[in-house]
């Protein structure tokens, strides 16, 4: 019998594939590519963390954990959030261990979104935000930030985007792809709008440990914001544990209970060995985090200075491990620049346009690579600029 119709859901059929993958797939077919595209640490997970996972397997800890995660890990997360970011959560009722921060974002959005609800998404941003809102039946309302303001959201922009259908705002800081960090004053101004219009904040703080010039401030720690914030964090970036797929949510009990319902049916629980690894990371891994951060800071400074020397304007990112230089002087679009650079000089970067309209005219370059790789990339990009500038 011939199938005459599509069985794919329209919401999925209409969804654009990730723009990042296009360049990764092309680069994978080429030899000698220097990649500045991958958004993950180049460091290996600390040995003590790997050993904790191995030990858990040797002791036979291979069963499910509680849906919300090992209570010992949730207690350690609560201590970590209190000590590090001055925000306090109940391990039993307000913390869920998830399969990466990506799953945490998914259940957070689904737990609060009714059909037609609007979620404000600040761009440039990670590529999954708007699709997750749409899959949950909501409408993603995007706000574009610009290089003129260091890609910081302005309160008047936020207020102009709020309607009677607005449910929440989704923030990521330090930001992927721009590296922009929001300080306390920036967050206070946003928080006033959130409280004024009775909104929620989904705060993606996965890069919180990678804040270079000042301590990270969680918006949940501000007066009146703990009860309005779903905080997303995890172990991938700061602890170099991307492949372990372990994140967590911190939220008021009502919202946390709703997220746990979705988590129970969709995922059951996070990997047991990974949870024991994360427990070790929180208890004994902060020294390694600081060591990695020191190296990232050195690389950041090198990349920003290098781009300026070859004629590309580049703001100093306050966190994460990305620089976001402007390539507007070349006359090329972001996608044209990235494709030509890959084909002509074998350097892989991500066009800024894939992160939203505000990213056009920029490229994302990860400095989670060795200094020798970064130096080689800069040499090739400099040559490319000389050959392609109008």
How many percent of the chain have pLDDT more than 90?
89
The CATH number for 133's domain is 3.40.640.10
In this structure, the answer to whether residues 240 and 300 fall within a common structural domain is no
Helix (H, G, I), strand (E, B) or coil at 130: helix
In this structure, the answer to whether residues 344 and 205 fall within a common structural domain is no
Token pair for 217:
């401030």
Residue 266 lies in a domain: yes
- Of 226, 257, 284, the domain-final residue: 284
pLDDT at 168 over 80: yes
- Say what the pLDDT of residue 49 is: 97
In this structure, the answer to whether residues 157 and 190 fall within a common structural domain is yes
In this structure, the answer to whether residues 243 and 196 fall within a common structural domain is yes
In this structure, the answer to whether residues 63 and 30 fall within a common structural domain is no
- Say what the pLDDT of residue 31 is: 85
In this structure, the answer to whether residues 40 and 142 fall within a common structural domain is no
The CATH number for 378's domain is 3.90.1150.10
Structure confidence at residue 29 as a pLDDT band (50, 70, 90) = confident
State the chain's mean pLDDT as an integer: 94
pLDDT at 11 over 90: no
> Residues 370-385: pLDDT tens digits?
999 999 999 999 999 9
pLDDT at 1 over 70: no
> Residues 226-268: pLDDT tens digits?
999 999 999 999 999 999 999 999 999 999 999 999 999 999 9
- Of 251, 269, 284, the domain-final residue: 284
In this structure, the answer to whether residues 20 and 100 fall within a common structural domain is no
Residue 4 lies in a domain: no
Residue 3 lies in a domain: no
- Say what the pLDDT of residue 136 is: 95
pLDDT at 119 over 70: yes
In this structure, the answer to whether residues 349 and 200 fall within a common structural domain is no
- Say what the pLDDT of residue 256 is: 98
Query: What percentage of the chain's residues is helix, strand, coil (to nearest 5)?
Result: 45, 15, 40
CB 231 within 8 A of CB 223: no
- Say what the pLDDT of residue 321 is: 96
In this structure, the answer to whether residues 141 and 245 fall within a common structural domain is yes
Report d(CA 102, CA 381) in Å as an integer. Answer: 32
- Of 236, 251, 284, the domain-final residue: 284
Rounded average pLDDT over 45-74: 97
In this structure, the answer to whether residues 268 and 291 fall within a common structural domain is no
Residue 2 lies in a domain: no
pLDDT at 172 over 80: yes
Report the number of distinct structural domains present in the chain. Answer: 2
Residue 268 lies in a domain: yes
In this structure, the answer to whether residues 211 and 82 fall within a common structural domain is yes
CA distances from 88 to 93, 215, 218, 251, 319 (A): 12, 17, 11, 10, 24
Report d(CA 95, CA 144) in Å as an integer. Answer: 31
- Say what the pLDDT of residue 145 is: 95
- Say what the pLDDT of residue 390 is: 60
For residue 315, which of 324, 303, 306, 328 has the smallest C-alpha distance? 324
Rounded average pLDDT over 184-203: 97
pLDDT at 169 over 80: yes
For 27, the domain range is 10-45+287-387
- Say what the pLDDT of residue 56 is: 97
Record the pTM.
Answer: 0.94
Token pair for 12:
């999925």
In this structure, the answer to whether residues 124 and 200 fall within a common structural domain is yes
- Say what the pLDDT of residue 12 is: 84
Rounded average pLDDT over 173-194: 97
């Amino acid at each position: 019998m011939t199938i005459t119709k599509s069985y794919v859901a329209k919401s999925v059929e209409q969804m654009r594939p990730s723009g990042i993958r296009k360049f990764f797939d092309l680069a994978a077919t080429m030899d000698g590519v220097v990649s500045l595209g991958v958004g993950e640490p180049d460091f290996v997970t600390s040995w003590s963390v790997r050993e904790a996972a191995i030990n858990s397997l040797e002791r036979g800890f291979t069963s499910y954990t509680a849906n919300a995660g090992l209570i010992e890990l949730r207690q350690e997360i609560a201590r970590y959030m209190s000590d590090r970011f001055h925000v306090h959560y109940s391990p039993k009722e307000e913390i869920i261990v998830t399969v990466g921060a990506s799953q945490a974002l998914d259940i957070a959005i689904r737990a609060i979104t009714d059909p037609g609800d609007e979620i404000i998404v600040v761009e440039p941003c990670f590529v999954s935000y708007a699709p997750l809102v749409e899959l949950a039946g909501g409408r993603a309302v995007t706000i574009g930030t610009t290089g003129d303001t260091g890609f910081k959201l302005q309160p008047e922009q936020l207020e102009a985007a709020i309607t009677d259908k607005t449910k929440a705002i989704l923030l990521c800081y330090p930001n992927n792809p721009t590296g922009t960090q929001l300080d306390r004053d920036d967050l206070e101004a946003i928080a006033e709008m959130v409280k004024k219009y009775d909104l929620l904040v989904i705060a993606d703080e996965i890069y919180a440990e990678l804040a270079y010039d000042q301590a990270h401030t969680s918006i949940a720690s501000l007066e009146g914001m703990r009860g309005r914030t779903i905080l997303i964090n995890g172990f991938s970036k700061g602890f170099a544990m991307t492949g372990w797929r372990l994140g967590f949510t911190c939220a008021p009990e009502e919202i946390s209970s709703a997220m746990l319902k979705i988590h129970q049916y969709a995922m059951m629980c996070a990997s047991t060995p990974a949870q024991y690894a994360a427990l070790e990371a929180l208890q004994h891994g902060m020294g390694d985090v600081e060591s990695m951060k020191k190296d990232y800071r050195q690389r950041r400074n090198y990349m920003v200075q290098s781009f300026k020397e070859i004629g590309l304007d580049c703001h100093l990112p306050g966190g994460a491990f990305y620089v976001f230089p402007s390539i507007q002087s070349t006359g090329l679009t972001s996608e044209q620049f990235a494709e030509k650079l890959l084909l002509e000089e074998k350097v892989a970067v991500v066009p800024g346009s894939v992160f939203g309209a505000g990213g056009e005219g920029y490229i994302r370059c990860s400095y989670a690579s060795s200094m020798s790789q970064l130096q080689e990339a800069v040499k090739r990009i400099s040559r490319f600029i000389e050959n392609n500038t109008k």
